Amino acid sequence: MSGEIYSYLFPSLLDAGAKDVYLTNIMMKKNRPAQKLSVLIAEDQREKIEEIIFKETSTLGIRRREVERSCLQRKYFELNSSIGNITIKAAYYKGELIKYSPEYEECRQIAAEKDMSLQQVYDLIKKEAAEKLLDQKSQK
């Protein structure tokens, strides 16, 4: 299958409700290199996703298996930063903040508007978010 198909396929699967889509390099029988398509979905999305895969790819069959997932508790808050408002996603394990991240699309938009690199935006936002989160912790 032409690699160009994936550029069309991935957004189609994500728009149809896939939680994640990725490729893995594999070796098939007779030492043929190939790409294994993996799509993580909720069970109620299976029929719609399988239809897309069968219609849009060269596959003749789909292997399915159930997977379990553990998730961190997430909270979102608005950061009024020096370069604009941005949503911060904070992740907690057993009630303790262990990581946080600014929302990508908002950072991308600010980078374009302010003529900054995306990395500069991430670094600045993460620094300002850290200060706010530390301030919130000290007030408890």
What pLDDT is stored for residue 140 in this prediction?
A: 58
Q: What is the average pLDDT value for the chain, to the nearest integer? A: 93
- Do 45 and 81 contact (CB within 8 A), yes or no? no
Q: How many of the other CB atoms lie within 10 Å of CB of 40?
A: 14
* Inter-residue contact 48 to 16 (CB < 8 Å): yes
Residue matched to tokens 């994640």: 20
| Single-letter code of the amino acid located at 29 | K
Specify the length of the chain in residues. Answer: 140
Contact indicator for 50, 61 with CB cutoff of 8 Å: no
Within 16-117, residue ranges assigned H as helices are: 46-56, 104-114
pTM of the full structure:
0.70
pLDDT, average across residues 22-27: 96
Residue-level pLDDT at 137: 60
Q: Domains plus CATH for the chain?
A: 4-56 (no CATH), 73-139 (3.10.20.300)
pLDDT band at 70 (very low <50, low <70, confident <90, very high): very high
Rounded to whole angstroms, how far apart are CA atoms 65 and 74? 27
